[in-house]
């Protein structure tokens, strides 16, 4: 003989179990051969703004030659900050470049070596696109490595993004002295 107290508990348990089964069956993914065309895709939460790959910023390594003076090369590092642009089509970039002759053992062992530090604003169209042209302008300081003094100068550049990681860039540096520097560089993003 079942007491009414246990009988009510059994009915409630069966209702709870039926509701739980209905929830599980409604949420299960479609199996192949079910005849059902609807499939569920597991949803992963989107990262918070500024924390996706390259959204908060990324660094790039640049290496190139100076066609205006074929015996020199340039090595550069830049940090791109996509969230600090003038508008959604612009990004801010901080560049550090060292210009040096090929025929030297150290980068700082020649009076022709110089270091450039510039703050740039870059027009990219859609900064989230992984390809397309870009253009920028910057101002900053150019330091002769062996001589004393700082020259304030500027920089103009045009580039083409081939993928998320690779791009090419043509730059014209005005280092605040009588020499204008033209550089042709390859750029690799270091996400």
Hey, CA dihedral for 91, 96, 101, 104, is it positive or negative?
negative
Residue scoring higher pLDDT (71 or 77): 77
Determine whether domain 58-190 maps to CATH 3.30.70.1400.
no
At 4, is the secondary structure helix, strand, or coil? helix
Does residue 65 have a pLDDT over 70?
yes
Q: What is the pTM of this model?
A: 0.66
Does residue 5 have a pLDDT over 80?
no
- Least confident piece of the model among 20-24, 71-75, 141-145: 20-24
pLDDT of residue 47: 44
Domain segments of the chain: what residues? 1-30, 58-190
Residue scoring higher pLDDT (141 or 37): 141
Q: What share of the chain is helix, strand, coil (3-state, %, to 5)?
A: 15, 45, 40
pLDDT of residue 126: 79
Residue scoring higher pLDDT (28 or 127): 127
Does residue 25 have a pLDDT over 80?
no
pLDDT of residue 51: 44
Distance from C-alpha of 11 to C-alpha of 54, rounded to nearest angstrom: 56
Distance from C-alpha of 110 to C-alpha of 28, rounded to nearest angstrom: 70
Q: Which two tokens stand for residue 53?
A: 């790959």
Cβ pair 140, 130 in contact under 8 A: no
User: Using one digit for the tens of pLDDT, what is the confidence trace for 118-162?
Assistant: 999 999 887 777 889 999 999 999 988 776 788 899 999 999 999
Q: Which two tokens stand for residue 153?
A: 């100068």
pLDDT of residue 183: 92
Does residue 67 have a pLDDT over 50?
yes
pLDDT of residue 3: 53
Residue 129 phi, psi dihedral angles, 5° rounding = -70, 145
Q: Are strands 72-81 and 58-65 parallel, antiparallel or unpaired?
A: antiparallel
């Amino acid at each position: 003989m079942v007491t009414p107290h246990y009988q009510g508990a059994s009915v409630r348990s069966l209702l709870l179990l039926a509701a739980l089964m209905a929830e599980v069956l409604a949420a299960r993914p479609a199996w192949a051969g079910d005849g059902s065309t609807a499939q569920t895709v597991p949803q992963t939460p989107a990262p918070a703004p500024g924390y996706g790959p390259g959204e908060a910023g990324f660094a790039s390594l640049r290496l190139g030659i100076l066609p205006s003076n074929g015996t020199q090369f340039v090595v550069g590092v830049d940090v791109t900050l996509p969230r600090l642009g003038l508008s959604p089509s612009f990004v801010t970039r901080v560049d550090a470049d060292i210009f040096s002759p090929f025929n030297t053992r150290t980068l700082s062992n020649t009076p022709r070596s110089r270091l450039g530090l510039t703050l740039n604003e870059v027009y990219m169209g859609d900064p989230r696109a992984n390809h397309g042209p870009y253009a920028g302008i910057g101002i900053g300081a150019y330091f002769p490595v062996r001589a004393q003094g700082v020259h304030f100068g500027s920089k103009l550049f045009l580039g083409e993004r081939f993928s998320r990681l690779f791009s090419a860039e043509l730059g014209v540096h005005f280092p605040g002295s009588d020499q204008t520097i033209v550089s042709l560089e390859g750029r690799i993003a270091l996400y």
